[in-house]
Amino acid sequence: MNDQRFKTNLGSSGKRTLVVGAASFCLLFLTSALPALATSSQAGDTPPPPRRSDLDIPFVPDDNGLNKLLGTLDDHGVKPIVQYYGDFLANPVGGLHPAAAWFQLLYYGVNLDLERLIGWKGGEFTITGMNTAGSDISNNVGTAFTPAEAVCFTGSALFKMLFTQHLLDDRLQLTIGRASAGAFYARLPMTGLTVSGAANGNPISLFYDASGYRQAGRANWMANIKVKPTKDTYVQTGIFQVSTDRMNKRWYNGLDFSIRNGDGVLLLSEAGWTPTFAKEEEAPSTGKEVIQNNTSFAGLPGVYQVGGYWQHYPMPTFLGSGSRQDVYGFYAEFQQMLWRSHMNADHNFTIWGGITYAPQEEIAMLPLMVFGGVNWSGLIPGRDKDQLLLDFFIGDYSRDYSLSYSRQDQGSRTLETVLEASYIIQLTRQIQFQPDLQWILQPGGAHSTPNALILGFQVSFAY
């Protein structure tokens, strides 16, 4: 579609009709295609046996050194957490002006199984911290969709400090402590693979539209209850402290544990369904014969979730000097594997998508956001663990937000679209290298800002 025609002929109502229509088409396609695709291929050669150890840290033997130490700690209920992300991105074309930057994030901590350590049945304690460094090219591009997922805050901070009690064979989970809402709600596994921060872990619109909904590194007091009525359904509800004035200041480093007058609350609820279609059980052996190709089909897993939030904490309006005390919004997300090879479970194809909606346009910067994509694992022969990702993110800026710019003769703000293509190269079980390309249409929703090309890569390590 011609960009200029798109800008001039598509009004606010038309834009949202188009965006919602695209989301509906994706869901309709999923509903119609799933029955036909949810069948396993015929069994062929038996896949190779799994590797001897889950620990594959480079150049370290499995039976001694660091691998042995980490395995021994895990056996005793002490699970180290180490994750590193480094993003190098540049915009050679478009945006406000060219730039290049590196940003890195180190996430570390420990998870303690209290039953193994001290005999506290069902008890679990987690404490984590974060350290970041580098710079972000978002302002150079002029986009609200952060190009680098590692960008969240600058400096060091205590993040999670949580106690979780598992009850009734894990059908009931009670969690209390310090964390962000983004660590529990609107989290779709597939979104954690993108380099773009537009929906990495959480849709970025939630951060703009509810000041108390925060991401990694921004923690407040919270309590959450999660119930699993069946093995593939759940409902959860949580309450989070909102103290944005203190939470966003670097010098607190996540160590301000106070609850003060003027603090607000953020309430969230979410319901989810995690089915696995076409799963086959392994055929039992009679002991009298050797059963060939006796590998069960792992099935086609999916995740479906809907939720909403209500915040009692003021947010300033875009027009005038007022504020709104009660803030609310909704979201829906899904991912579904549509095909998987029977011979190699790592060869599969998944689609995913979602939508967020915040109707209060006087305070919500992105009242409507639609996103989605596809993931093809094992596309290249011999590269079973590699993944190809093709994703899109569309944000519709609010009427009042746009008017606040128009009244300053800075032009209106309408739609912003990000198209992303990346390829995850799995070097070891823990190390990934991910070349990435992003094409941003109307950065910041501004007609006057040239479309931007973003090129770069991400390196990551996770244990």
Provide the 8-state DSSP code for 380. S
Report the C-alpha gap between 65 and 22 in whole angstroms: 52
Percent of the chain residues topping a pLDDT of 90 = 69
C-alpha triplet 33, 39, 43: angle, nearest 5°: 150
Q: Which two tokens stand for residue 410?
A: 């800075």
| Res. 31: pLDDT tops 90 | no
pTM to 2 decimal places: 0.83
Residue 242 in tokens: 């909102």
Give me the chain's average pLDDT, please.
85
**Got the DSSP string for 51-92?**
PS-S---TT--TTSHHHHHHHHHHHTTEEEEEEEEEEEEEEE
Q: How many residues does this entry show for the chain?
A: 463
* Count of alpha carbons within 13 angstroms of residue 120, beta-carbon side: 13
pLDDT of 56 > 60? The answer is no
SS (H, E, C) 128-159: EEEEEEECCCHHHHCCCCCCCCCCCCCEEEEE
Q: Which residues contact 280 (CB under 8 A, 6 or more apart)?
A: 40, 296, 297, 299
Given the DSSP bridges, would you call strands 220-230 and 172-179 parallel, antiparallel or unpaired?
Answer: antiparallel
CA–CA–CA angle 462, 76, 53 (5° rounding): 50
Task: With a cut of 80, say whether residue 21 has pLDDT above it.
Answer: no
Model pLDDT for residues 90-148, shown as the tens digit of each residue: 999 999 999 999 999 999 999 999 999 999 999 999 999 999 999 999 999 999 999 99
Q: How far is it, in rounded angstroms, from Cα 283 to Cα 299?
A: 15
- Alpha carbons 430 and 452: distance in angstroms, whole number: 32
Query: Which pair of tokens denotes residue 138?
Result: 């978002």
CA angle in degrees (0–180, nearest 5) for 40-189-277 = 25
CATH number of 11-40+55-255+263-276+299-457: 2.40.160.180
- Whether 310 and 206 have beta carbons less than 8 Å apart is answered as no
Q: Is the pLDDT at 280 greater than 90, yes or no?
A: no
Name beta bridge partners: 80: 110
- Residue with structure tokens 């039992």? 284
Tell me what percent of the chain is helix, strand and coil, each rounded to the nearest 5. 20, 45, 40
Residue 169 pLDDT greater than 80, yes or no:
yes
Higher-pLDDT residue of 252 and 410 is 410
Average pLDDT, integer, range 32-57: 38
Given its phi and psi angles, is residue 155 left (phi above 0), alpha (psi -120 to 50 degrees) or beta? left
Please list the residues that pair with 392 across neighbouring strands: 372, 419
Confidence grade of residue 282 (pLDDT, cut at 50, 70, 90)? low
- CB within 8 Å of 180: residues ≥ 6 apart: 159, 213, 214, 215, 216, 217, 218, 219, 220, 240
* Secondary structure of residue 265 in the 3-state scheme: strand
Q: Environment class of residue 168 by beta-carbon count within 10 Å: exposed (0-12), middle (13-18) or buried (19+)?
A: exposed
DSSP 8-class letter at 442 = S
Predicted pLDDT of residue 74: 76
Average pLDDT over residues 167-189: 96
Instruction: For residues 381 and 124, give the distance between their C-alpha atoms in angstroms, rounded to a whole number.
Output: 41
Question: Which ranges constitute the DSSP H helices of 175-334?
Answer: 204-209, 244-247
Question: How much is the average pLDDT of 426-453?
Answer: 95
